């Protein structure tokens, strides 16, 4: 059973998340030759202050 974790900044709409899980599921099914019923996707919405790159919080970098 493929289990995928997706980390992204919070703020995406429910429709965007629906599109994401549909397209990711399709890609996993093609790549691994499995049915969609076995694919699990966990979406982790993160506030920008919980991510950093190059020694700076993303909220401070504007990214």
Domains of the chain listed by start with CATH number = 3-61 (3.30.429.10)
Q: What distance in Å separates the CA atoms of residue 49 and residue 31, rounded to the nearest whole number?
A: 34
Active-site residue, selected from the candidate residues 2, 8, 20, 41: 2
Tens of pLDDT, residue by residue over 10-58, are 999 999 999 999 999 999 999 999 999 999 999 999 999 999 989 999 8
Nearest one of 55, 29, 56, 57 to 41, comparing CA atoms: 29
Query: Known catalytic residue: 47?
Result: no
Residue 16: both structure tokens together = 């965007």
Is the model's pLDDT at 63 over the cut of 90?
A: no
pTM: 0.83
Those residues with Cβ within 8 angstroms of residue 47's Cβ, 6 or more apart along the chain or in another chain: 9, 10, 59
Residues 6+ apart with CB under 8 A from 38: 1, 2
Check residue 7 and give its pLDDT: 97
The yes-or-no verdict on residue 62 having pLDDT over 80 is no
pLDDT at 61: 84
């Amino acid at each position: 059973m493929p289990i995928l974790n997706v980390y992204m900044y919070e703020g995406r709409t429910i429709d965007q998340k629906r599109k994401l899980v549909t397209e990711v599921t399709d890609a996993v099914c093609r790549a691994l030759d499995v049915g969609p019923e076995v694919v699990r996707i966990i979406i982790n919405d993160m506030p920008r202050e919980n991510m950093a790159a190059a020694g700076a919080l993303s909220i401070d970098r504007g990214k």
